[in-house]
Structure 1
Amino acid sequence: MSSNTDARPRTPGEWLQFGAGSVIVTVMCFPAIWMVYSAFKSNREIFRSPFGLPAEWRFENFTKAWIEGGLGALFLNTIIVTGLGVAMSVFFASMAAYAFTRLDFPGRRALARLFLVGLLLPPPAVAIALFTQLSALGLINTLWALILTNGAWTIALTTYLLGGYFRSLKREMEEAALLEGANRFQIFWHVVMPLVKPAMITVAILNAINIWNELLFALLFISDDAKRTLPAGIVRFSGYHSTDYSLIFAALTITTIPIMIFYFICQRHVMRGLTAAVAE
């Protein structure tokens, strides 16, 4: 029986990479960890020992935050806005990406570049214009204001990502479908869409995370507390004269953990979708 050889010792360069990676991971993860254990503290303890562990773990902070903040209704509003916003974004962006990569029509290149402008504009730059348009449509203080705004805002990036994936697909199956008499929409829906499923799942997950955490539009377009989403609803815990930081940390933990679990469950789909186009 042959003896096992010792593992190759790490080189100084590998130890340096390991150390640098550990520092980066620690720096990135510490704010989330600090938020979670701070949710179990009292306000006094947060100010006296901001980075220390709780002397007494106050689980009642979560119950109090859920009840006083009305987080149940906020969760429902956020799920509705996120779900419909993602569906809108992916549906229209997939058709736009297919048109830009497969169809030849006048102004195609100029229109495709115009879509990319959406990647450069920060939300505050168009906030006033969006508020004016939504007011004219009578959509202010409704969930549709957030659904349409977030769905439209993520179309540019979604189109860009899907366009790169569409360009990696070979055209043989589409050409065969054309020869058999299928129209463009049938080819798009029955031939192309099944092939880009990994990319569709990827952009849907990324858009869901972005819309779930969106704050600016939720504060600008919604004034009724019962119609706010989770990020905007947490503002309730901050008053003019005092702020209950223990409840804010508890509400932030309740808000953040579901989307973190969702991402960890779906991360293999994200990695598969992001690398599929490169692999092609």
Structure 2
Amino acid sequence: MRSNTEAPGTPRDWLQFGLGAVVVAGMCFPALWMIYSSFKTNREIFRTPYALPGTWHWENLTKAWNEGGLGVLYVNSILVTAASVILCAGFATLAAYAFARLEFPGRRVLYRIFLIGLLLPPPAVAIALFTQLRDMGLLNTLWALIFANAAWSLSITLYLMSGYFRTLKREMEEAARLEGADTFRVFWYVILPMVKPAIITTAILNTINIWNELMFALLFISDDASRTLPAGIVRFSGFHSTNYALVFAALTITTVPIMILYFVSQRHVIRGLTAARAD
């Protein structure tokens, strides 16, 4: 923490600014390189990989959209992402309220069981998920991705939501109960409006993660009509050769909207994460 006597613009400030700028540049450059490479030809990408395009080939975006069938992939990704986020938010909000506000036997043990999902990598449960979805007859359907992504996002959403619930004071709840409100009315009319920042934060984070999810999409979906954007872009890589210009164009079409969403909503994300404190 900066002392009160330290003036702004000191060498320490400039050093911190310089290090931060280097880190930000290193993180942003791959995305920028992908975007301007999508306007090059395949030969130009190999000849001058880091230079700006000599001629901007805007037709690469149209060609990638048409040849890759990105319209259908976009619709599938939007449906899977929206349904998964809504499903996860609904269950996580109810569960977080129960764990943070209600007293029942085994509450802490059950809460920690839910958090085990934070420790497991997706490949550890991929075979079990595949078997369950196959037995349920959901393979090659969007429901397979919706249920898998919603369940996989539940742990981190519950963790953040329960931490946010514990920061709320109980006075308004107690006042509502004195007026005769039951538990559901207290949750719906008192608690839910107060936790909107946490719901928005977790929804944005889950949207970004689910939109970019690839492993489940490759494992559970083999029908082209049900693929999402990440899995569909894999088809741009040929067996003998790959048109990297079209690959970069498809990646740009896929990632730029979600990048814009994050930059527009990053204030809400930072506010929600700093307000939530875990137990």
- TM-score class normalised by the smaller sequence: over 0.9
1:15, CA displacement in angstroms? Answer: 1.6
Q: List per-residue Cα deviations over 1:147-181 (Å, max 9, x = no partner).
A: 11101110110000011110011111111222222
Q: Secondary structure at the match of 2:104?
A: coil
Bigger drift between 111-120 and 45-54 goes to: 45-54
What's the CA shift for 1:267?
A: 1.5
Q: Where does residue 131 of structure 1 map in the other structure?
A: 130
* Aligned residue number for residue 188 of structure 1: 187
Q: Which deviates further from its counterpart, 125-134 or 169-178?
A: 169-178
**In the alignment, which residue of structure 1 is the partner of 2:67?**
68
Query: Paired residue for 2:113?
Result: 114
Matched residue of 1:140: which SS? coil
The AA in structure 1 aligned to 2:152 is W
Greater mean deviation of Cα atoms: 149-158 or 14-23 = 14-23
Alignment of 1:171-250 (within 5 A): 171-250=170-249
Q: Deviations over 1:26-45 (max 9, x none)?
A: 10110001001110111111
Name the structure 2 match of 1:153: 152
Contact between 2:40 and 2:56, CA under 8 Å: does it hold in 1?
A: yes
- Please give the per-residue CA displacement for 1:162-211, whole angstroms capped at 9, x wherever unaligned: 11110011111111222222221111111100010111111111111111
- Which residue of structure 1 lines up, in the alignment, with residue 14 of structure 2? 15
Which stretches of structure 1, 4 residues or longer, exceed 3 Å deviation after superposition?
none
1:24-73 per-position Cα deviation (integer Å, ceiling 9, x unaligned): 11101100010011101111111122112212211111111000000111
Please give the alpha-carbon distance, in whole angstroms, between the structure 1 residues aligned to 2:66 and 2:276.
46
Does 1:256 pair with 2:240?
no
Residue of structure 2 in register with 1:37 after alignment = 36
* 63-72 or 46-55: bigger deviation: 46-55
SS in 2 for 1:36: helix
Gaps of 5+ in 2: 1-6
Query: What are the ranges of 5 or more consecutive residues in structure 1 without an aligned counterpart?
Result: 1-7
Q: 1:9 to 1:81 in 2, by over 3 A?
A: closer
TM-score (norm 1): 0.94
Provide closer, same or farther for how the CA distance between residues 207 and 9 of structure 1 changes in structure 2, counting only shifts above 3 A: closer
- Per the alignment, residue 139 of structure 2 pairs with 140
CA shift for structure 1 position 275: 2.7
2:202 is matched by which residue type in structure 1? V
Aligned length: 271
Distance across 2 between alignment mates of 1:117 and 1:59: 47
**CA displacement at 1:276 relative to structure 2:** 3.1
Determine the C-alpha separation between the residues in 2 that align with 1:263 and 1:269: 10
CA RMSD of aligned residues (A): 1.2
% identity of equivalent residues: 70
Counterpart residue identity of residue 84, structure 1: A
Shift of 1:262: 1.0
Note closer, same or farther for the CA distance 1:270–1:106 as it changes in structure 2 (3 Å cut). Answer: same
